[in-house]
Amino acid sequence: MPDSNRPDDRMDVVVDAASIDGPEGLADLVEQASAKANHRRESDPEHTTKRCWHKSELVRGFAAGVIAADPWYRGYRLPPNFERVINRVAASIDKTFTGGEIVHASLNELRAFFDETVMADSEFVGWNKADGPDVVFVHRYSPTPSKRDFIDLDAVMQNVTTVLRNWKRDDDRFEAKFQQDHNAEQGDA
C-alpha cells in the first residue's frame, strides 16, 4: 500500500523550506504541499476505493483525529465542547449515511463528508482560533506549553483519514493472515 510520507515528498519540503521568504513564502509552501497531497490522494486506489465502515468506526476515527492534532500542554483537557462536536458528527453520520450501520465509502468521500460537516460547526471551527496575537508553533523539542493555543483543523482532517486508513490496513493484514492460516488448516485436513 502507498505511504503518504514518501521520502521524496519530505525532501521537497526540506528544499522548499530553505527558500521561505517571510509569512507569504510559508503560506505558499503550505499550499503547494497541500496541492501535492490532494493530487496524490485523488489518484491513490487506497483513497479512492470504496470500503465498508461501521458508523461507530467513523465517529471513533474522528475523535482520534481531533485528539492527535490537539497540541499537548500541562494540565491537558479535551478541546472545549468536544462531546457536543462528536455528538453532532455522529448525528450527521446517521443522517447522511442511511440504510444501516455499515457505510460504503472511499477515504476521499469520507474526508469530503467530514470537511463539509465539521467546517459548518462553529464550535469545531472555534478550535482553530488562537488565544493571543502570536501563534507559536511547537515541535517535539519545545518545552511543554501551559495552555492550548489553537488546533490546526487541516491536521485534524488529515489525522482522521490517516487513522481510518491505518485501521483498514490493520484489518487487511489480519484478514490476510487469517486466510493464510485457515487455508493451511484446510490443506492439512
pLDDT of residue 91 exceeding 80, the answer is yes
pLDDT of residue 52: 95
Q: What is the spatial distance between Cα 30 and Cα 9, in angstroms, rounded to a whole number?
A: 13
Q: What is the pTM of this model?
A: 0.75
Place of cell 493484514: 173
Q: What is the spatial distance between Cα 126 and Cα 101, in angstroms, rounded to a whole number?
A: 30
pLDDT of residue 30 exceeding 60, the answer is yes
Q: For residue 4, what are the CA distances in angstroms to 22, 35, 89, 104, 129? A: 27, 13, 26, 23, 28
Number of residues in the chain: 189
Q: What is the spatial distance between Cα 35 and Cα 16, in angstroms, rounded to a whole number?
A: 14
Q: What percent of the chain has pLDDT over 90?
A: 51
Torsion of CA 62, 150, 37, 24, to 10 degrees: 160
> Stretch 70-87: mean pLDDT, rounded?
90
Place of cell 521520502: 7
* 3-class state of residue 95 by DSSP: helix
The ranges assigned to domains in the chain are: 1-43, 50-188
Which pLDDT band, with edges at 50, 70 and 90, does 1 fall under? very low
> Stretch 54-77: mean pLDDT, rounded?
92
Judge whether 39 and 32 are in contact, CB under 8 Å.
Answer: no
Q: For residue 133, what are the CA distances in angstroms to 26, 116, 149, 150? A: 18, 28, 10, 12
